[in-house]
Structure 1
């Protein structure tokens, strides 16, 4: 007889998903079969001790059959055939119940009726609604057979018929009630499990979508940072070109000197000058390439004063001769956790904005301040330019907001700078008035430099 697959027995709802037995169900069934086997073994042992040779041979045979069914179920489950084992238990126990009812009758088994019927109905409920219905009908027919045996034994005496019918009604009602409760309990648990799994799938999908959104946000921010850097590179190109022209003029001068030199010493000196100018040109081009390269953010502990001092020559290249650029690191002895390339980009963006706000010249000052009580580093960039109105100042940190003409600004400089500073746990404060210039104050979490490095 072929065994019906568990996927078609566990849930009789059309189109419903049918999970397997599961480790917890297998463990519960193993415990149930061990308890049933122990019950029949202890019952047979107690009868042997009490009655000795007077015990009915059929009792021992049925006890052995119960043990054999339970052992067979354990073996089948051990081989990974849980559905076959459960089906074997239900069919085997119902057959033995029928034999017992047909031999002794219903009344003689009233004390052990619950122990024999409930495990069978429980396992049948795990197999599905259809197996539970068939098992309940089989158990009721076995009880009807037992009641018939009881009636035949008393020769259908009218005074005993009512008693037997009452016993039959109580047993059948109890069996149907237990089956109904098991069916609705298992169905409810199955539906709750299905809902929980659907929620789990939905949560996993939401988690994946959130991760994708976070990755997309990171990529977008990196692209905005790179766009800001490239915009600043374009504005920095004039200063770099001026340096290159100066260095190329030096090279041409040394070449002419070498050609006119009458002695080898002068030629050697000219070659040394050419080599020095070439090294300076290489450093300038390398600085420009490093600044414009698109790389992932790499925050690290930076010496704030050293970083600002190293950035000073590049900042001065942004302004023309009409703007005085003053950089004061104040010999601040503290460190910040920030990406050096991003910090250079922010400072350069502030310098470019300040230069465009001073078309007729002015002063630009970049100062550092250490606030030990708050544990913060203050980077102030102040200019004496045109300034901003209160409405513009309130929106200056918004992405793509700009007051510059089309083609002269993207509105990303301050917005991206604010995003980078916020990602590092800091903030940006902007103070400005029309005709009185602008001051941008960047506050970053900082820690004091070690004593041995502060000296």
Structure 2
């Protein structure tokens, strides 16, 4: 704003002097010409300073220099000679003073009011004893002073309101920043707690799987011992090699079972990736079957050629499905059937359905089963967080969970997720991660893979 004021004054000052020169045929006071030259030079110097960033210095020089010029003009030529355009000389000074604060504004207003009074006195002196002339000069001076005071008051109140608005905006900005920091802290704490909870649920699932895996593992160890004994009992090299190959195969199956359990229990950060849901659930089938006793029939309805890709953290999806399987197992103490299927629900949605033939839930339980800490199990047998965490993970991935259940009719959980495009890069990256994991497993198992 100051730059526009300086440009206006820098053009108006010499232009008004040139018009006066033309009107009076060059009969102007030389002091007026000198003042115009000095004032114009000052105005454009202030403009250059403001353009270079020294705004406050330019405002101080403009206000002080203009007041000094007016201090020469009004006492020398009076108020009347300034003409109606004297407001064009006073108002820019007030605008410049606004930038320097309220005190400078009212000081400049008082200074100019005194100059107006001095100019009026200069006009009244020649005809001091002519009452009509004196009254006219006094009215002109009073009008100028009142107008000047009114303008200064309006500008001052606008400045006060601006300062109050800025202070309020700063306070609100500070409050918003504090709220933002609290939200960020709460989000970080929530993410840490969720990660810890997921790991705890993994450990719980590992504990449940350990008993069933131990049976298979002992069976495989018995096979290893049997093949080893068969090899020791024969002197035939071919039969000995066959026994060793059989023992190696059983040992590899046992290693795969234990490594699968260790990989599932790792406390890794969330790693969303795009993968084939059908393939992932097919790989999870052994762990799902080990969750249930022999009285429960486990069926997987999977079409290996469909290629239904989703974007999810693979380990978290395994945790969600194992949690649903555990709930189904506890709902079927006398046996039953558990079915897990994957299908295309809509052109852009994949539906994973977990269905059991257990006790089912009534309407009140079904309405609250996704709430944190809600459980129907006895005290000490469940925290009521499994379904709540599963629903949160699915919704974070842009999906939803739907539940159908009735007493005595079993329960059906539908996980609906956005369908993704499974590109070649996804397959390559997935194979790379599996190869890396296999390499880590081999390092943890000295001597693995040494047999021919």
So what's the TM-score if we normalise by structure 1? 0.84
Cα distance, 1:444–1:48 mapped onto 2, change above 3 Å: same
Equivalent-residue separation in structure 2 for 1:274 and 1:308 (angstroms):
29
Of 303-312 and 215-224, the range deviating more from structure 2: 215-224
- 5 Å matches for 1:134-145? 134-145=107-118
Whether 1:381 and 2:350 are equivalent positions in the alignment is no
1:61 Cα deviation after fit: 0.8
- 5 Å matches for 1:171-320? 171-320=144-293
Structure 1 counterpart SS, 2:214: helix
Partner of 2:319: 345
Whether 1:88 and 2:61 are equivalent positions in the alignment is yes
Equivalent-residue separation in structure 2 for 1:366 and 1:284 (angstroms):
22
Whether 1:152 and 2:125 are equivalent positions in the alignment is yes
Equivalent-residue separation in structure 2 for 1:398 and 1:79 (angstroms):
63
1:51 Cα deviation after fit: 4.8
Task: Tell whether the 8 Å contact from 1:140 to 1:175 is kept in structure 2 after alignment.
Answer: yes
1:38 Cα deviation after fit: 1.2
Aligned residues, how many?
Answer: 422
Whether 1:430 and 2:407 are equivalent positions in the alignment is no
Q: Which runs of no fewer than 5 residues in structure 2 stay unpaired?
A: 424-452
Partner of 2:365: 392
Partner of 1:356: 330
Cα distance, 1:98–1:378 mapped onto 2, change above 3 Å: closer
1:448 Cα deviation after fit: 8.9
The CA deviation string for residues 129-151 of structure 1, in whole angstroms up to 9 with x for no partner, is: 21122111111111111122112
Task: Tell whether the 8 Å contact from 1:368 to 1:377 is kept in structure 2 after alignment.
Answer: yes
Q: Which runs of no fewer than 5 residues in structure 1 stay unpaired?
A: 1-27, 451-455
Partner of 1:22: none
Cα distance, 1:432–1:166 mapped onto 2, change above 3 Å: closer
So what's the TM-score if we normalise by structure 2? 0.85
Match of 1:104 among 69, 72, 77: 77
Task: Tell whether the 8 Å contact from 1:126 to 1:186 is kept in structure 2 after alignment.
Answer: no
Equivalent-residue separation in structure 2 for 1:322 and 1:177 (angstroms):
96
**RMSD over equivalenced CA pairs, Å:** 2.6
Whether 1:367 and 2:341 are equivalent positions in the alignment is yes
